[in-house]
Structures are given as structure tokens and as C-alpha cells.
Amino acid sequence: MGQRFNNRVELKGGEIILFNREGAKKPIWHMRIHIRGMRDIDGKTFSHVQETTGELDLDEAKRIALDRYEDLKLRTKHKQPAKSITFAAYYERWWTEREQQLRETWKNKGRTGKNARITWYMMQSKRYWLPYFGQHKFEDMTQSLVLGYWKWRMLYWSTRDEKERRRFGNHALTPSKKTLDMEQAALREVFKEALSEQLTSFQPVIEHPFSRKGIPAKRRPSLDPAELKTLHEYMDLWVRGEGKNDKIPGARINSRHLYQRKLLQLYLQWIEGTGMRTGEVLLLKHADIGRAFTELYEARILKISVSSQTKTGARTVISNPAVVSTYVELQKLTGHTKPEDWLFCNPDGKKCTGFFKTLPQMLEEAGVAKDAHGDKRTAYSFRHVYAEGRFAAIGFNPIALDLIATNMGTGRQSLENHYIRRGIITDPDALIANHGLQYAWDGLKGQEEGEAKRKEIERREKRGF
């Protein structure tokens, strides 16, 4: 039985039908349009589109219906989906495929557990992209709308109430360039896919403000030798309960506080002596630690196996010699030294999750919480200290770049862009001589000529350190 149309009006030989809904409070005109060959986003054919004109006046309703008819004919001719779709509806469809791709990539890398990339997409889309773009149809998108997103995004947290800010304590009032770079790339991907599926013929320019101004990515602040000296001297007092705030009347420092302080000190020493990422360090177990001698310098070092569950996957890290004593101190402190025990753990043996409150407070007390530009230092700053120290020691050259980037689990370009402060190497000879390369070459020669030395090393290893 066919649909009944009240006050039926036909246009275009019946391909357009205008009508009023039965029982409606207002006689608003609705339109039913039929064009042969219309398809939806999945390529399936359907017979008609039925929508409201939003008009009480018949002549105005006819105009809207005819405009919509011509639009649908053009879409059908160009094999575009005839039905409109909102950003939210399309994003749900797009994310189903994208999430599966990310899971497969994660699995192929041998990783298990929580996928940080998937979590990031879900959080950003729920909080920012869907609230802003969600109810807009692709065919109605404008460049002005897209540009407005960045202004809205930059002001988002400054317009939230205090309750919401406390609930999401890890937010930044002004998002960093890195965060906006990631959002920019993700939104470009979504809009590009929508264009390829012919949902729209408009491809907006998606560029956040920092990109348009040519502002480079901000490096995390490092520490120079004088600042490091200040910090280490303060920590030596702090771990004994002799810090600045410990002298305040009523301050109570117990054994658990001292344990956590010493653990933090060893944690920073570990990053400074290995260049490892903070998350990589916290995933270490004693089974991941091996000991060795270097052949040329006969230095005791650690060979550290980084978990495949980390950002760049499994690799072996060669520590600086100083980390050997750090490891010995760590074993004495925790008392948990079985192969499957966590390296950095609480007194009960549970894995340490970080020092998010203690570290900033300690850096503030030591007077090195911020660099000269006012940027806050974090545990990641000590990864930068490692990179700068290695370059200062072996020179800035292609071999050094390759060795250090490999040990840190990063790329050479990333090393140059994010970990090297220009001017940290002040040796004038470095400008006219390739002494760093010569040291590396001497090391290679030593490997060929050191058979007797290797035997001596093996003998020492059997005796133990």
C-alpha cells in the first residue's frame, strides 16, 4: 500500500512530490524526490530522498525542492552518494577501519596491551573533533568553519570551569605545537578519505596557527653542566631528608619518603646515563639487564634489553659506565632482584608508575625547574642531557649521529630536530678536525686487533665484576 500524501503537489513529472504531514501542528511542506540510480555511501541504490523544506509557503517550498532535485541529479551523475552525511556519522565509519589498521600494526610489531595511539584518537575525537565538527554535513563545510576550529581549540581549556579542569588535570591551557601537529594530521586524513569517497568536492586547507607562523616544534629543555651540578648536589642532600622544605617546622620525613626520593634519584641517573625514554625505563625487569666490558676502553657497562611493548619496539641499549653503580645501588635499595622483578619498584615490589608530583617539586626546590626561556623541565629533559653529553664526548658527525640515534631508539632527523641544542659543543678543534670520527675508527681497528684482549675480558666476566 502506497504512502498517503496530504495536499499533494507534483513537480518534474512526479519526480518531486510536495506534501503536508498528516496530524502535524503546522502545515510545513515536505518533499519526496525520486531520481533513478541514486546510491548511498556504501554504493547501495535507493529509490527516494524524503526531507522537510522547513517552509509554510508553497512557492518557497517549491524553490527549495527544485534546488535539492538539481543537487541530487548532479550527485547521481557524478556517482556521488546522494544522501547527506554528518562528520560524526562518517567519522564512526572511518574510525572502524582506522582502528583495525592500528591494531594490526601493533600486533605485527609483536606488541600487546594498551595501544597508546588508539587511546589518543579516541580521547581527541570525543573531546574536540566530534563536539566541533560532529553535526555538520560535509556538503555544508566551509573554510571558515575549519579555520574556526583552531581558535576554538586554542581557547578550549581556558573556557572550561574549574571542576572540569581538575577532572582532567593533565591538560594544557595552550596546546603545544606537537599536539596540534598530530590533530592536524588526523583531521587531514579524515577529510581526505571523505573526498576520495566523493562525499564532498571541497577539500579544506587544514593548518593550525603554529604551522602558518612557521613556529618550529619546541624542544624539551635540557640542563647545562652547571645546572646539573647544582641539581646533583641538592639531590644528595634531599635523599637524606635535608632538603629545603624538610627544614620547615612540622615537616615529617619517614622511611617511605626517603625510599621514593632515592628511587627518583637513581631513575634520573639511569635516564641520564642511557638516553632511554621514561616509559622504557619503568618497564625494565632485572632479566633485561646484562653486563659486559667494552673491548677498547675495558669499561664496565650494561647491555639493556628494551621491551617490544615500547614506542619504537625492542632494541639493545648500551649504558654509560656510571650506570653500573646506579644499578648496584638500585638492587640494594629495592631488595627485589629476581629476574622477573621490576627494576624500579615500590617497597612492596609493585612497578613504579612515575614521579609526576615528586619530580617537579624537587626540581623547584633545587632551583632548576625551568630553563632560561621559562619552559618546565621534566624527566624527559635527562634524555636530552644524555644526547648532548654523547655528542660533546665523541663529536658531531655522521657516525656519532648513527650510534646515538640507534642507542636512543630514534631517527637521525629526530635527533637533530629535538635533542640537540645548537652551541653545546664548544671545542674549537671540532670545527677543523674530525676527531670524533677518528675515535670511532680507532674503536673499529681495536676490534680487529684485540683477540688477546677479548680473552682477558672473557676471563674477567667468568670471575664476575
Give the pLDDT of the chain (465 residues) as one tens digit per residue. 356 788 899 999 899 999 998 888 899 999 999 988 888 776 788 888 888 999 999 999 999 999 988 888 887 887 777 777 889 988 998 999 999 999 998 888 777 777 888 999 999 999 999 999 999 988 788 999 999 999 999 999 988 888 888 777 667 788 888 889 999 999 999 999 888 877 777 788 899 887 756 565 566 788 988 999 999 999 999 999 999 888 888 778 899 999 999 999 999 999 999 999 998 999 999 999 999 988 777 889 999 999 877 777 788 999 999 999 999 999 999 999 999 999 999 999 999 998 988 999 999 999 999 988 888 899 999 999 998 888 888 877 778 888 888 899 888 777 777 776 655 444 444 334 444 334 433 444 444 455 555 555 566 555 554
**Close Cβ partners of 333 (under 8 Å, ≥ 6 residues apart):** 259, 262, 263, 266
Question: Is residue 118 classed as helix, strand or coil in its secondary structure?
Answer: helix
**Close Cβ partners of 89 (under 8 Å, ≥ 6 residues apart):** none
Q: Which domains does the chain have, with CATH numbers?
A: 6-77 (no CATH), 87-213 (no CATH), 225-445 (1.10.443.10)
Copy the grid coordinates of residue 282.
619503568
> Are 138 and 204 contacting, i.e. CB atoms less than 8 angstroms apart?
no
DSSP 48-74: EEEEEEEESSHHHHHHHHHHHHHHHHH
DSSP state of 45: B
The CA R_g of the chain, rounded to the nearest whole Å, is: 32
Q: In 275-308, which ranges are continuous DSSP H helix?
A: 278-282
Handedness of CA 203, 204, 208, 212 (dihedral sign): positive
Q: d(Cα 241, Cα 294) in Å, to the nearest integer?
A: 37
What helix, strand, coil percent values describe the chain, rounded to 5?
A: 50, 10, 35
CA dihedral 349, 351, 353, 355 (to 10 degrees): 40
**Close Cβ partners of 200 (under 8 Å, ≥ 6 residues apart):** 138, 139, 141, 194
Beta bridge partners of 304: 289, 317
Number of helical (H) and strand (E) elements in the chain, helices listed first: 18, 7
- The overall longest dimension of the chain from CA atoms, in Å, is 103
Reference 312, options 107, 117, 109, 100; nearest CA is 109
Helix (H) / strand (E) element for 306: namely strand 300-306
Reference 319, options 287, 288, 275; nearest CA is 275
Copy the grid coordinates of residue 405.
640515534
DSSP state of 316: E
* Residue bearing cell 619496539: 313
Q: d(Cα 321, Cα 393) in Å, to the nearest integer?
A: 14
Distances, alpha carbon 326 to alpha carbons 268, 319, 332, in Å: 10, 11, 10
**What's the whole-model pTM score?**
0.61
End-to-end CA distance of the chain: 91
> Are 158 and 173 contacting, i.e. CB atoms less than 8 angstroms apart?
yes
